[in-house]
A and B are shown apart, each in its own frame.
Chain A
Amino acid sequence: MKNKLWSILFHLGMLLVAVITVFPFWWMLCASLMPSGEASDFPPRFFPETFTAEHYINLFSRLNLGRYFLNSLLLALGVTLFSLLVNSMAGFAFAKFRFRGRTPLFAGLISAMIIPGQVTMLPVFLLLNKMGLLNSYFGVILPTMASIFGIFLIRQYLQGVPDSLIEAARIDGAGEWLIYWKIILPLAKPVLVTLALFTFMGSWNDFLWPLIVLTREDLYTLPVALSSLLGEHVQDVELMMAGSVVTVVPVLVVFLALQKYYLQGIMIGGVKE
Chain B
Amino acid sequence: MKTSRYAHIFFLAPALITLLVFFFLPVLAALLMSATDFDVYALGNFGRARFLFLENYRRALEDPLFWKALFNTFYFVMVGGPLTILVSLAAAVALNAKILRFRKFFRLAFFLPVVTTLVAVAVVWRYLYHPRYGMINYLLSGFGIEPIDWLGDPTWAMPALILLAVWKNFGYNMLIFLAGLQAIPETLYESARIDGANWWQQQFYITIPQLAPTSIFVTIITIIGYFQLFAEPFVMTQGGPLNATLSIVLYLYQQGFRWWQMGYASSIAFILFFILIVLGLVQELVRRRINRGGAV
Contacts and interface: CB of A to CB of B under 8 A. Distances in A.
Touch between A and B in complex, CB under 8 Å? yes
A122 interface: yes
Contacts of B91: 17
A251 B175 contact: no
B276 to A, nearest CB: 6
Contact of B30 (A120, A167, A251, A266): A120
Binding site of A, secondary structure by majority: helix, strand, loop or mixed? helix
B22 A120 contact: yes
B266 A226 contact: no
A27 B109 CA distance: 15
A14 B100 contact: yes
A255 B94 contact: no
A71 B214 CA distance: 38
A259 B175 CA distance: 12
A226 B4 contact: no
Closest 4 CB pairs of A and B: A90-B15, A120-B26, A123-B29, A93-B11
Most chain-B Cβ atoms within 10 A of its Cβ — which of A41, A97, A240? A97
A22 B27 CA distance: 40
Interface of A: 7, 10-11, 13-14, 17-18, 20-25, 27-28, 31, 39-44, 85-87, 89-90, 92-94, 97-99, 109, 112, 114-127, 142-143, 145-146, 148, 151, 167, 170, 176-177, 180, 201, 204-205, 207-208, 212, 222-223, 226-227, 230, 237, 240-241, 243-244, 247-248, 251-252, 255, 259, 262-263, 266-267, 270-273
Contacts of A89: 11-12, 14-15
Nearest to B218: A270
Contact of A227 (B110, B235, B273, B277): B235
B19 A146 contact: yes
B117 A142 contact: no
Contact of A267 (B113, B179, B277): B179
A227 B14 contact: no
**Interface secondary structure of B, over-half rule:** helix
16 contacts: A10-B97, A18-B105, A18-B109, A18-B110, A39-B127, A112-B23, A118-B249, A143-B18, A145-B18, A176-B11, A177-B10, A208-B253, A244-B117, A244-B123, A248-B120, A251-B116
B176 A270 contact: yes
Given A123-B33, A207-B231, A227-B234, A180 B11 contact: yes
Given A118-B269, A143-B22, A44 B133 contact: yes
Nearest to A197: B115
B289 interface: no
Contacts of B252: 118, 121
Contacts of A148: 19
A148 to B, nearest CB: 7
A261 to B, nearest CB: 13
Interface in B137-152: 138
Contact of B175 (A17, A127, A266): A266
Interface stretch (B63-71, B154-162, B222-230): B222-230
Contacts of A85: 14
Interface string B93-136: 01001011100011011101101111111011111100011110
Given A18-B110, A90-B16, A116-B269, A24 B29 contact: no
Nearest to A270: B176
Given A40-B133, A42-B133, A241-B127, A123 B115 contact: no
Contacts of A23: 135
A122 B262 contact: yes
A21 B262 contact: no
Given A89-B12, A94-B12, A122-B269, 14 more contacts: A7-B99, A14-B100, A24-B113, A24-B167, A89-B15, A93-B12, A120-B30, A122-B30, A126-B29, A146-B23, A207-B231, A226-B120, A241-B123, A241-B127
B187 interface: no
A244 B119 CA distance: 8
A40 B280 CA distance: 46
Interface string B27-47: 101100100000000000000
Given A122-B266, A142-B18, A21 B8 contact: no
A208 to B, nearest CB: 6
B127 A31 contact: yes
B256 A122 contact: yes
Contacts of B135: 23, 27, 44
B120 to A, nearest CB: 4
